[in-house]
Amino acid sequence: MSKIKSPISNQRPDTRRSLPGIDRLLSQPSGASLIEIYGRALVVEALRSTLDAARECIARGEDIDLTDNALFEQTQTMLDAWLAPTLQRVINATGVIIHTNLGRSPLSEAAIEAVDEAARGYSTLEFDLATGKRGSRTLHAEAILCRLTGAEAALVVNNNAAAVLLALTALAGPTRDAPQGRGAIISRGQLVEIGGGFRVPDVMAQSGAQLVEVGTTNRTHLCDYEAAIDVGTALILRAHRSNFTQIGFTTEPTIAELAEIARRHNLPLLDDLGSGALLDTAQFGLTPEPTVQDSLQAGVDLAMFSGDKLLGGPQAGIMVGRSAVIDKLRRHPLARAIRADKLCLAALAATLTHYLKGEALTCIPVWQMISAPLDAIGARAEHWADVLTQVGLDCRIIDGQSTIGGGSMPGEMLPTALLALRVASADAASIRLRACRPPVIARIEANRLIIDPRTVLERDEADLLASLRGLGQ
Interaction between residue 159 and ligand PLP (CB under 6 A): yes
In the complex, minimum distance from the CB of residue 306 to ligand PLP, in angstroms, rounded to a whole number? 3
In the complex, minimum distance from the CB of residue 246 to ligand PLP, in angstroms, rounded to a whole number? 14
HSE, CB side, 13 Å, CA atoms: give it for residue 237: 35
In angstroms, the CA 261 to CA 228 distance is 12
Considering the complex, state which of residue 311 and residue 381 has its C-beta at the smaller distance from ligand PLP.
Answer: 311
Instruction: Give percent helix, percent strand, percent coil of the chain, each to the nearest 5.
Output: 45, 20, 35
- The set of residues, in sequence order, having a beta carbon less than 8 Å from that of 105 and lying 6+ positions away, is 98, 308, 309, 311, 312, 313, 314, 364, 365, 366, 406
In angstroms, the CA 115 to CA 107 distance is 10
Q: Would you mind telling me the total number of residues written for the chain in this entry?
A: 473
Q: Which of 47, 91, 194, 258 binds ligand PLP (CB under 6 A)?
A: 194
Interaction between residue 239 and ligand PLP (CB under 6 A): yes
Considering the complex, state which of residue 31 and residue 405 has its C-beta at the smaller distance from ligand PLP.
Answer: 405
Choices 86-94, 149-157, 272-280, 393-401; region in contact with ligand PLP by CB under 6 A:
272-280
Determine contact, residues 54/15, Cβ cutoff 8 Å: no
Considering the complex, state which of residue 277 and residue 377 has its C-beta at the smaller distance from ligand PLP.
Answer: 277
Considering the complex, state which of residue 309 and residue 448 has its C-beta at the smaller distance from ligand PLP.
Answer: 309
Considering the complex, state which of residue 242 and residue 291 has its C-beta at the smaller distance from ligand PLP.
Answer: 242
Interaction between residue 409 and ligand PLP (CB under 6 A): no
Q: How many residues bind ligand PLP (CB under 6 A)?
A: 15
Interaction between residue 455 and ligand PLP (CB under 6 A): no
In the complex, minimum distance from the CB of residue 165 to ligand PLP, in angstroms, rounded to a whole number? 9
* Alpha-carbon distance values, 42 to 66, 74, 386 (Å): 21, 14, 47
* Alpha-carbon distance values, 145 to 35, 142, 294, 307, 352 (Å): 50, 5, 14, 12, 7
Interaction between residue 149 and ligand PLP (CB under 6 A): no
Considering the complex, state which of residue 38 and residue 198 has its C-beta at the smaller distance from ligand PLP.
Answer: 198
Interaction between residue 272 and ligand PLP (CB under 6 A): yes
Interaction between residue 242 and ligand PLP (CB under 6 A): yes
* Alpha-carbon distance values, 179 to 29, 242, 365, 443 (Å): 70, 33, 47, 52
Per CB under 6 A, which of residues 196..235 are in contact with ligand PLP? 198
**What three-state secondary structure class fits 405?**
strand
List of residues contacting ligand PLP (CB under 6 A)? 159-161, 164, 194, 198, 239-240, 242, 272, 274-275, 306, 317, 407
